[in-house]
């Protein structure tokens, strides 16, 4: 697996945004989400300097999805592992950087669509959107 340059997959990202009625400027690519928040939306607190992605409401009410760009390959692999540990057998299907990014973006869209802050709800919704069923055993 290679480092994931999220902005190289903007077309795929836009496709998912459009499918859920989100405008094209919803996604902000940044090399540090914590710094992005401090500089652009100081009201939004972010404690994790290594955060990969975050769905936020901006101070003007717009929705935004912040994406770390690039995401190192090792981080992608460890995130997939974390999903498996959390009981998501579907994570076996996230075999390429692009599939991983698709799940990551859908997870963040899922926070808006399901109107839930729960990562479990967002992960479930994202796998369903991708059409990845839970393995039967
Ligand atoms: Zn989440």
The distance of Cα 41 from the centroid of its chain, to the nearest Å, equals 19
Place of tokens 């400027």: 25
C-alpha 119 – ligand 1 centre gap (Å): 4
pTM of whole model > 0.85? yes
* pLDDT higher than threshold 80 for residue 97: yes
C-alpha 2 – ligand 1 centre gap (Å): 23
Report which secondary-structure segment, H or E, holds 101: helix 97-113
Q: Quick one: pLDDT band at residue 2, thresholds 50, 70, 90?
A: confident
* pLDDT higher than threshold 70 for residue 128: yes
C-alpha 53 – ligand 1 centre gap (Å): 8
Please, what sign has the CA dihedral across residues 72, 81, 27, 34? Answer: negative
Q: What is the mean pLDDT of residues 76-101?
A: 96
Q: What is the mean pLDDT of residues 26-37?
A: 98
Cβ contact 127:90 at 8 Å = yes
- pLDDT tens by residue, 38-58: 999 999 999 999 999 999 999
C-alpha 55 – ligand 1 centre gap (Å): 7
Listing DSSP states for 49-80 in one string gives TT--EEEEE-TTS-EEEEEESSB-HHHHHHHH
């Amino acid at each position: 697996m290679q480092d994931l340059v999220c902005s190289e997959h903007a077309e795929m990202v836009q496709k998912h945004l459009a499918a859920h009625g989100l405008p094209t400027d919803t996604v902000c690519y940044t090399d540090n989400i914590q710094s992005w928040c401090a500089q652009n939306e100081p009201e939004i607190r972010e404690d994790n300097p290594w955060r990969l992605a975050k769905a936020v409401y901006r101070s003007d009410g717009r929705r935004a999805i912040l994406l770390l760009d690039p995401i190192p390959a090792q981080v992608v692999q460890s995130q997939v592992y974390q999903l498996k540990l959390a009981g998501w057998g579907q994570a076996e299907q996230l075999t390429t950087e692009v599939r991983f990014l698709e799940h990551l973006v859908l997870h963040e869209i899922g926070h808006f669509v399901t109107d839930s802050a729960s990562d479990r709800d967002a992960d479930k919704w994202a796998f369903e959107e991708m059409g990845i069923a839970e393995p039967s055993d």
